[in-house]
Amino acid sequence: MNEKFIAFFIVTISVMFVGTAQNSFAEDFVVSIPYGAFNPELNTPAEVWYDPPELSITVGDTVTWTNDDREGHTVTSGYGAGRFDWMDTKNLGEADGLFDSLRFMPGESWSYTFEKEGSYNYFCVIHPWMEAIIFVDPYIPDFPHDATGKKYESFPTFLITPDRSVEINFSWEPQVIKTHEKVNFIYRFYDAVYDQLLRKLEYDIAILQNNEILYKDEKAVSGAGGDYRQWIFEEPGPIIVKISNIKPYGQVAESQINLSYDATARLGDFTAMVYDNPEKRVTTDKIVQPRETLQFYYEIAVAIIVVPAIMLAVLILYMKTKKNPPSYPERKASPV
């Protein structure tokens, strides 16, 4: 089973299950058509035509309109004529075909479930001055889950490699991944038999999204039993983090646990979902991978050691010069 098939399978399953997860957390909202909405005059019992005239919901939510007026009305997607334009220009509004309740009478209601994010203007085709709008925000859960929408009951999550030798403990921060925000993938390696931390391993890691390899690092070396990677996703959608070819690198652990160098079945895949970020449209953060961090720490260490050493050398040279002032030949008086 190749990587492209696995990625396609996860994308397909994620679309099915995420839709189910959204429905399980969906809410119901009510919009009233108040008494007097049929009258376009300014001095009417109705302060608004649809109450509330603006409503913010989430993908998967359902809105029910109740007719509390004395005449029939419609809920039709599109743009109405406004309070005055319909009289001056005979403009009766323009429907866009997304949804239409048709006429429903006083005491009746009509419902519609919004499956896509966006803003939806609507009006009454019978009374074109009646207008309102629905804002539909994307569904973003507040818990970590895999690419199918299934919640991780314990987090960090973990898996044991197919050869039953290594346990990979895996998590990410923040737990809900959004576009244009830095994500830290954090993982640790344990011996699956004795549950001891494997302190130094060589491995490959790759991050995939939409059948594309976004990041790959081969022959990486874990330190202190674990490692991390940073990434910023530009697009929403399911992702896979693949860890493979896990091999021993020097002293694996204090107990000298032996891992064979055949790493064919020593691998693991972790999946998650990236959501569109409604609050951030550009990437401003910088990614810093472990090797860059080590190089930064190395440069700091060099500065900490070298700069004081140079200052000390200059000070010693200065002190020697001060203690031993230059000697000049003694001048003798000569007879005149």
Q: Provide the pLDDT for residue 199.
A: 83
Q: Which residue has the higher pLDDT, 282 or 215?
A: 215
| Integer Cα distance of 168 and 267 in angstroms | 9
Least confident of 21-25, 152-156, 192-196, 289-293: 21-25
Instruction: Please give the single-letter amino acid code of residue 165.
Output: S
Q: By C-alpha distance, which of 2, 55, 1, 58 is closest to 31? A: 55
* pLDDT band of 246, cuts 50, 70, 90: very high
Report pLDDT for 215: 97
The yes-or-no answer to whether 26-137 and 159-275 have a common fold is yes
Mean pLDDT of 140-157: 94
For the sheet containing 212-221, what is the strand order?
Answer: 177-178, 268-275, 237-248, 201-209, 212-221
Q: Under CATH, what is the fold of the domain 26-137?
A: Immunoglobulin-like (2.60.40)
For residue 223, the cross-strand partners are 226
**What's the pLDDT band for 22 if we cut at 50, 70, 90?**
low
Residue with tokens 């949804």: 99
Could you tell me what percent of the chain has a pLDDT over 70?
75
Cis status of the peptide bond prior to 34, with omega within 30 of 0: no
Nearest Cα residue to 271 out of 161, 180, 163, 185? 185
CATH of domain 159-275: 2.60.40.1930
Six token digits for residue 15:
């679309």
Q: State pLDDT tens for residues 157-184.
A: 999 999 999 999 999 999 999 999 999 9
Token reading at 88: 């001056």
Q: For residue 266, what are its two tokens?
A: 């020593």
Place of tokens 């997607």: 77
List the domain boundaries for the chain. 26-137, 159-275
Q: Is the pLDDT of residue 122 over 50?
A: yes
Of residues 308 and 193, more confidently modeled: 193
- Note the pLDDT of residue 322: 62
Give the integer Cα–Cα distance in Å for 297 and 303: 10
pLDDT (tens digit, 9 = 90+) per residue, 279-299? 888 888 888 887 644 443 434
| pLDDT band at residue 10 using 50, 70 and 90 as cut-offs | very low
Stated pTM of the model? 0.64
Q: What are phi and psi of 143, to 5 degrees?
A: -145, 155
Q: Does the structure show a pLDDT above 90 at 304?
A: no
247, burial (CB in 10 Å: exposed 0-12, middle 13-18, buried 19+): middle
More confident residue, 46 or 172: 172
**Residue (of 206, 77, 223, 224) closest to 136 by Cα position:** 77
